[in-house]
């Protein structure tokens, strides 16, 4: 098994480059190379040259190589997990960096194993027609900083399986994790199949506008997603945009507060709230509002926050100083608006690192910034309601729709409510749990296109109909 020190040394540059810090301590852990447009041109040329041979290998051989890449990830999983914890901040344990490294392997294996057979769409006296999918060509993937290695895998694994080659730009905040993942899987993959170019937003903009890309996939903010859609319009690459969300949860009056409290907590506070499809605003029926708040507070109080590499931590720091400021400002505005801070809301602003305590806020108006703006951090507004129709209206009021959830002891009743919520996924009695075979994507300002499973393979392919 590769050590953390060796893995880090393999992806850092000794001189120059962008310093990468541990968000728990502000310590520089390494330096990432910074690539520019000349590097992009070379990468595009190499990946385009490699693509026909990679596609010609066929599904069976490409799947074999993806499974071999997953084996390589498994051998280096502990080193990769430590690097993620040091760079991004999430704890090793719980739904943290070991979970993320395991997810990388699982998604690689699922991309390899998922069948995508030609579909006979017409077969009668008028004729026959068959729908199949071929590789798009060269895929440009632009990733986020919150789940850097896992979301990178969501982007490149299905693309490679379908016969595409990939140029990937990780977030400038977490380049080392993605460089390390590429170094691991490229022990197995042929040259030119997967290239990682660390760089800033200008490099991402250049990728979005580059005519060589047949497909662009992006995970990040709605604002940047709109910019990518605009800048890519001249070239008309296919797009998958998984953008920001402000996921609502609705707790019906028959729910059991004690039974749902821990799942509610992790739905909201996984990765210290830094997850696109985390629960970000919670509407609870007045009859059980106080009981749900108390149960949530009890769970939150026993979740230790600390350095990601500590075996005891369950919550870590926010990844960037900017994200700390966003959460801090939203909570202070909530305090000024008369919100009641049940717990949290008092960070040590002078201490090293970007630690913001788990925070629960009640009593806010429906239009409070903490409710209507995506906080992307460990601060959950809890809003009491009496009329279910009004709660559903409020859940649908924002121009985002990535995920949502309904909580009830009556699953069939919860499913009925779920059909009225405008979101790409509505979970019942859980929130944000993704599965490599279940399609995932958003609506409205949360983007378009699907990832995972059969639909995820189709999204990085090009349909072809043969009719006779």
What residues are labeled active site? 242, 276
Residue 227 CA: distances (Å) to CA of 129, 205, 219 = 38, 8, 13
Q: Which residue has the tokens 């040091």?
A: 86
What token pair was written down for 361?
């806020």
Rounded distance, CA 269 to CA 313, Å?
Answer: 13
Between CA 367 and CA 375 the distance in angstroms is 14
Count the Cβ atoms, other than its own, within 10 Å of residue 433: 16
- CA distances, 133 to each of 92, 139, 410, 439, 441 (Å): 39, 15, 41, 17, 20
Q: What are phi and psi of 197, to 5 degrees?
A: -120, 100
Q: Exposed, middle or buried, 345 (CB in 10 Å: 0-12/13-18/19+)?
A: buried
Q: Kindly give, in sequence order, each residue whose CB lies less than 8 Å from that of residue 200, ignoring residues fewer than 6 positions away.
A: 34, 172
**What is the full DSSP assignment across 409-454?**
S-HHHHHHHHTTS-SSEEEES--S---TTS-B--EETTEE--BSHH
Q: How far apart are CA 9 and CA 302, in angstroms?
A: 36
How close are the terminal C-alpha atoms of the chain, in Å? 54
Q: Which burial class, exposed, middle or buried, applies to 419 when counting CB atoms under 10 A from its CB (0-12, 13-18, 19+)?
A: exposed
Q: What is the tally of helices (H) and strands (E) in the chain?
A: 16, 20
Q: How many residues does the chain have?
A: 468
CA 353, 364, 289 angle in degrees (round to 5)? 100
Can you spell out the DSSP letters for 310-373?
A: -TT-SB---SSHHHHHHHHHHHHHHHHTT-EEEE-----TTSSS-----EEEES--TT-HHHHS
Of residues 421, 51, 63, the one with CA closest to residue 214: 51
Report how far residue 303's alpha carbon sits from residue 334's, in angstroms, rounded to the nearest whole number.
23
Residue 139 to residue 137: CA distance in whole angstroms? 7
User: What element of type H or E holds 296?
Assistant: helix 289-301
């Amino acid at each position: 098994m590769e050590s953390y020190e060796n893995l880090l040394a393999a992806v850092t540059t000794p001189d120059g480059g962008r310093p990468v810090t541990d968000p728990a301590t502000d310590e520089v852990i390494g330096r990432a190379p910074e690539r520019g447009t000349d590097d992009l041109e070379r990468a595009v040329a190499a990946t385009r040259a490699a693509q026909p041979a990679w596609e010609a290998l066929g599904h069976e051989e490409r799947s074999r190589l993806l499974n071999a890449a997953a084996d390589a990830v498994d051998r280096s999983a502990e080193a990769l997990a430590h690097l993620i914890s040091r760079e991004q901040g999430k704890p090793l344990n719980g739904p943290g960096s070991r979970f993320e490294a395991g997810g990388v392997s699982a998604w690689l294996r699922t991309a390899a194993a998922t069948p995508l057979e030609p579909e006979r769409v017409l077969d009668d006296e008028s004729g026959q027609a068959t729908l199949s999918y071929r590789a798009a060509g060269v895929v440009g993937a632009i990733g986020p900083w919150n789940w850097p290695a896992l979301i990178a895998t969501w982007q490149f694994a299905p693309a490679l399986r379908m016969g595409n080659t990939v140029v990937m730009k990780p977030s400038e905040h977490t380049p080392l994790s993605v460089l390390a993942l590429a170094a691991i899987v490229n022990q197995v993959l042929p040259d030119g199949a997967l290239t990682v170019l660390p760089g800033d937003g200008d490099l991402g903009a250049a990728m979005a506008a580059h005519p060589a890309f047949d497909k662009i996939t992006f995970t990040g903010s709605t604002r940047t997603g709109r910019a990518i859609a605009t800048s890519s319009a001249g070239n008309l690459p296919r797009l998958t945009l998984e953008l920001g969300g402000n996921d609502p949860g609705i707790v019906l009056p028959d729910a059991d507060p004690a039974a749902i409290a821990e799942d509610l907590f992790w739905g909201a506070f996984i990765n210290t709230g830094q997850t696109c499809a985390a629960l970000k605003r919670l509407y609870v029926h007045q009859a059980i509002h106080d009981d749900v708040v108390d149960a949530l507070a009890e769970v939150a109080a026993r979740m230790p926050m600390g350095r990601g590499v500590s075996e005891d931590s369950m919550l870590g720091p926010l990844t960037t100083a900017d994200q700390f400021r966003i959460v801090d400002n939203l909570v202070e505005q909530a305090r000024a608006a008369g919100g009641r801070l049940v717990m949290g809301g008092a960070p040590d602003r002078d201490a090293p690192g970007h630690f913001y305590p788990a925070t629960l806020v009640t009593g806010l108006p429906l239009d409070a910034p903490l409710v209507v703006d995506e906080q992307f951090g460990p601060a959950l507004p809890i809003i009491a309601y009496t009329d279910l129709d009004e709660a559903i209206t409020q859940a649908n009021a924002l121009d985002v729709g990535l995920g949502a959830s309904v909580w009830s002891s009556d699953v069939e009743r919860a499913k009925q409510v779920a059909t009225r919520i405008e979101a790409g996924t509505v979970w019942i009695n859980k929130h944000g749990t993704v599965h490599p075979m279940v399609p995932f994507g958003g609506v409205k300002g949360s983007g378009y296109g699907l990832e995972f499973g059969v639909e995820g393979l189709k999204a990085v392919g090009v349909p072809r109909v043969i009719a006779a």
